[in-house]
């Protein structure tokens, strides 16, 4: 059974139809590459999966349940996480606080009201999460804004993983990174795959897509025009689909 299944998903903004009956499946532990030119509908499609956009037609099923009418919070609770290109990190706050942003563990004052954020617990659990992922930062106490782009990307991934997701959608995670930093992000994706977490990787960097993904879907003008196994295709064929010279 597919973890994620989209059937006939359509979305319009006013008179402009952005998605034209998209069908898409992702299995548990699969790393799927989603590629296409700017304006192909990739972001709209992902926001239709997370519930940020409601669809006009079609269905979104996740883990065997129709989630088409669920809101983003409900879908997140079911295990759908998205890491946006801007990462949405609080640059003034430290690494540990960013990992637990919005769901900080609290401790009870005199055993009564849960009123105090348990900073020691946050720091300890954040360090455990980073160690588990093999992520190296100078300290969990350092402000996130002082970290490199690659380190910030890995913190965003760590934060997503604290929700215990079944599917993580990544929007251009390697776009602004140095080569060595790209490798660490791709290694994290591989680690997630090994743990059975599915990933949708949106990227213009086809080298990264071919390295990380077992399957590549090409979106063009709101249509899925190719669904290719990595081992049965090459970069030239994928590019030809993206630019419309093929299919």
- What pLDDT digit, counting tens, does each position of 2-45 carry? 999 999 999 999 999 999 999 999 999 999 999 999 999 999 99
Residues in the chain: 247
H or E segment to which residue 108 belongs: strand 106-109
Answer for the pair 197, 167: CB distance below 8 angstroms, yes or no: yes
Answer whether residue 169 shows pLDDT above 60: yes
What digits encode the pLDDT tens for the residues 93-133?
999 999 988 766 666 666 566 566 778 889 999 999 898 88
How far is the C-alpha of 8 from the C-alpha of 24, rounded, in Å? 9
| Mean pLDDT computed over 217-240 | 97
What digits encode the pLDDT tens for the residues 186-215?
999 999 999 999 999 999 999 999 999 999
Angle at 223 between CA 222 and CA 229, to 5 degrees: 125
What digits encode the pLDDT tens for the residues 49-103?
999 999 999 999 999 999 999 999 999 999 999 998 877 888 999 999 999 887 6
User: How far is residue 192 from each of residues 40, 136, 169, 247, measured CA to CA in Å?
Assistant: 27, 17, 12, 33
Burial class, 101, CB count within 10 angstroms (exposed 0-12 / middle 13-18 / buried 19+): middle
> Which superfamily, per CATH, for 4-243?
P-loop containing nucleotide triphosphate hydrolases (3.40.50.300)
Q: What is the pTM of this model?
A: 0.91
């Amino acid at each position: 059974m597919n973890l994620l299944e989209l059937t006939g998903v359509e979305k319009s903004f006013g008179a402009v139809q952005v998605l034209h009956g998209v069908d898409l499946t992702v299995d548990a532990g699969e790393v799927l590459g989603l590629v296409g030119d700017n304006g192909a509908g990739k972001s709209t499609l992902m926001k239709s999966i997370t519930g940020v956009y409601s669809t006009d037609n079609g269905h979104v099923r996740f883990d065997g349940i129709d989630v088409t009418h669920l809101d983003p919070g409900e879908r997140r609770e079911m295990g759908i996480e998205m890491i946006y290109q801007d990462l949405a990190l609080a640059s003034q706050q430290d690494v540990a606080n960013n990992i637990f942003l919005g769901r900080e563990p609290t401790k009870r004052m005199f055993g009564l009201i849960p009123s105090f954020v348990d900073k020691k617990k946050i720091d300890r659990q954040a360090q455990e999460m980073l160690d588990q992922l093999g992520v190296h930062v100078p300290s969990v106490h350092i402000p996130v804004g002082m970290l490199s782009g690659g380190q910030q990307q890995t913190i965003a991934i760590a934060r997503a993983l604290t929700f215990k997701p079944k599917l993580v959608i990544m929007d251009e995670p390697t776009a602004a990174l140095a080569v060595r930093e790209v490798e660490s992000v791709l290694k994290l994706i591989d680690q997630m795959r090994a743990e059975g977490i599915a990933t949708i990787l949106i990227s213009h960097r086809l080298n990264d897509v071919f390295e990380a993904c077992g399957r590549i879907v090409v979106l063009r003008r709101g249509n899925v025009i190719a669904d290719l196994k990595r081992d049965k295709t090459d970069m030239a064929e994928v590019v030809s689909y993206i630019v419309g010279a093929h299919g």
